[in-house]
Amino acid sequence: MSDAQSDKTPGLSADEEQAISHNQPPRAAVLHEIIRTQGDQELERTLAALWWSALAAGLSMGLSLMAMGLFYARLPEGDSAQVIASLGYSAGFLAVILARQQLFTENTLTAVLPLMTTPTLANLGRLLRLWTVVLAGNLAGTLLVSWVMLELPIFDSKADVAFLEIGRKVMTNDISQMFAKGIVSGWMIATMVWMIPAMENAKIWIILMITYLMALGDFTHIVVGSVEVAYLVWAGDETWTAFWLQFALPTLAGNIVGGSFIFALISHAQVRSDSGKPPSQLLKEDHKRATRRQEPRL
C-alpha cells in the first residue's frame, strides 16, 4: 500500500471519495491552461474585431472617472472621501470584463502565455499585433470619452472640478513613480485575471476587491489613467507632451513589466516546475484521472 493511500481517512465510500475529488480547487496547471487557451483565442481574432472591442473598452473606462468624480462631488472633503470614492474606480473594469471587451492590461497576461508556452517568432508577432491594436483602440476610446465628458453639458460644476482634481492627482507622480506604481497595477490586474477562472461565481467580487485596492493605493493604470489625464489636456491644464512622456510611456512600461514579465513569467515557471511538463499535458492528465474516477465501480 502506498503512503498516499495509507494517509487516507478510513471508511470512506466510493461516492464520498468522488465528492472529495470534485471539491478540490483547480491546480495551477489547469488555471494556466484556461488562461492560455483564452489568450490563444484572442490572438486569432481579426484586426477589426480587436479594434472595435478595444475602442468599446476605452469608452467604458470613462465610467471609472465618471463614478469617482460624482462620488467626490457629493462627499464632504477629507481622507474618508477617497475610501468611498475609490469604489467608483471599479465601474469601468466591471463593464469591460463582464462585457468581454478588450483591455490592454488584461491582455498582458492572457495573450503572453501562448508565447511563453511556445516561444516562436510567429507567436511573438501575434502578440505584438494584438497589443498594438488593443492599446490603440483603448487609447482612442479614452481620448474620445474624456473629450465628451468635458465638452458636452452633462455634469454640474462640482463634478467637473472633481474630474480635474482626479487627473491632477495622477500627474503629481514623477516618471519613476508612474513606472513603479504601474508595475504594481499590472501585477494586480494579472492576479485578478488568474483568480477569476478559479472562482467564476465570485467574479464580480474579485474585480471589485482588486480594482478598489488599486484606486485606494493610487496605482497607475494606462487605460483608466488615460481618461483622467486626457481630461486635463482637453481642459488646458496639461500638454500632450506631458500626457505621453510623463504619464503614458512610463505607466505603460510598468503595466507590461508587472503583468507580463513578473506575474505571467513566474506563474508559467511555477506550472512548468511542478513536473517539468507543459501545462497542456498536465491538464490532459488531470482530465484522464477525473474520467477514471467517474467510471462506475463493479
Cα–Cα distance measured from residue 184 to residue 20, given in angstroms and rounded to the nearest whole number: 37
> pLDDT truncated to tens, each residue of the chain (298 aa)?
445 455 566 655 665 455 445 555 566 677 778 888 888 899 999 999 999 999 999 999 999 999 999 999 999 988 889 999 999 999 999 999 999 999 999 887 788 888 888 889 999 999 999 999 999 999 999 999 999 999 999 999 999 999 999 999 999 999 999 999 999 999 999 899 988 988 889 999 999 999 999 999 999 999 999 999 999 999 999 999 999 999 999 999 999 999 887 776 776 676 666 655 555 555 555 555 444 444 444 4
Q: Which three cell numbers stand for residue 24?
A: 478540490
pLDDT of residue 294: 46
Cα–Cα distance measured from residue 123 to residue 107, given in angstroms and rounded to the nearest whole number: 14
Q: Which of 9, 4, 96, 24 lies closest to 290 in space, CA to CA?
A: 24
pLDDT of residue 199: 87
Distance from chain centroid for Cα 229:
20
| Residue pair 230/143 in contact by the 8 Å Cβ criterion | yes
Topology, domain 26-286:
Glycerol uptake facilitator protein (1.20.1080)
pLDDT of residue 225: 98
pLDDT of residue 112: 87
Domain locations in the chain as residue ranges? 26-286
Q: Which three cell numbers stand for residue 61?
A: 473606462
> How far lies 279's CA from each of 39, 111, 117, 123, in Å?
14, 15, 8, 17
pLDDT of residue 113: 85
